[in-house]
Amino acid sequence: MKKHHYGLWIIGVVVLLLIIGGGFFLTKGQAAQSAATTKTIKIATAGTIFPNAYKQNNKLTGYDVEVANAAAKTQGYTVKYVTTDFDGIFGQLDAGRVDTIANDIGATAQRKEKYLFSTPYNNETTNIAVRKNASYQQLKDLEGKTVATSGAGNNFITSLQKYDPKINIKVFETRDQAIQALKTGRVEGLLYSRGTLSAIAKYQHLDWRVVKGDAASALVAFPFKNSQEGKKTQEIFNRGLKKIKSNGQLDKISTKYFGYAITNVISKSGGQ
């Protein structure tokens, strides 16, 4: 009788060990499968452009960064960023080192000849901000006056010169210098995009306003290589952007950085 009980006890222990062992290997197998299916999208950015993609406390943040993260997350992807000089940012995409770029990239006609683009998530217009008590109401009111910007040859300079060459432009080496020029009254306006000007005024608590009129307009989107892999990533982002537009997350992110809902601006510009 004792032998019978002893035999049952041995069998019970063996069964228990098999269950535990099976559970261990199952868990290990599930973990391996999960690791194998982890999906990552690599994105290039200069990380130096406020408020789109910049570093705060050594952490990459900004409107474009948060939009990319949110869109990718809805499709089950994580994002890995590669910071690089802007001059070489498209080279990273061309070489296949990254899947796309998050750096306030305008979907221009010239770029569309080479790259695929996502649906737009911003509309970058060329605008001028003035002090709130200034008499200027429209861009044309600044003819003969001087406005500040930074970075020789930037798109805003070209756009404003084409729109109205009678508005003088003083180019500073840094954005901070250009901002300071308007603060101290050395110029009558500040030239950047509406989103950037609104963000600067919002974050620095400046009593400024953007005058009426856009000198130019360019829809901002994520670019991809014109390849099968590029088309696949384009579809992922388009689905993600559609999701965050419909659930209000895109407007929430834009309000955080610009102080207004970006979908209203995109729809007015003819974006999807």
Give all strands (DSSP E) within the chain, no chain letters: 39-45, 48-49, 53-56, 59-61, 77-83, 100-101, 115-117, 122-131, 146-150, 168-172, 189-193, 208-210, 217-220, 223-225
pLDDT digits (tens, 9 = 90+) for 127-180: 999 999 999 999 999 999 999 999 766 789 989 999 999 999 999 988 899 999
Q: Which of 114, 164, 119, 171 is nearest to 143 (CA)?
A: 164
Count of residues in the chain:
272
- pLDDT at position 174 is 86
The one-character DSSP state at 209 is: E
Q: Which of 152, 157, 151 is nearest to 174 (CA)?
A: 151
State the Cα–Cα distance between residues 170 and 142, nearest whole angstrom: 13
The model's pTM: 0.75
Check pLDDT > 70 for residue 4. no
Mean pLDDT of 60-86: 96
* Segment 7-60, tens digit of pLDDT: 555 555 444 544 445 544 444 444 333 333 459 999 999 998 889 999 999 999
Give the residue from 29, 59, 49, 31 showing the smallest Cα distance to 193.
Answer: 49
Catalogue all structural domains in the chain, each as residue range(s) with its CATH number: 40-121+221-266 (3.40.190.10), 124-217 (3.40.190.10)
Residue 133 CB neighbour total at 10 angstroms: 7
Q: Please tell me the distance from the alpha carbon of residue 153 to that of residue 161, in angstroms, as a whole number.
A: 11
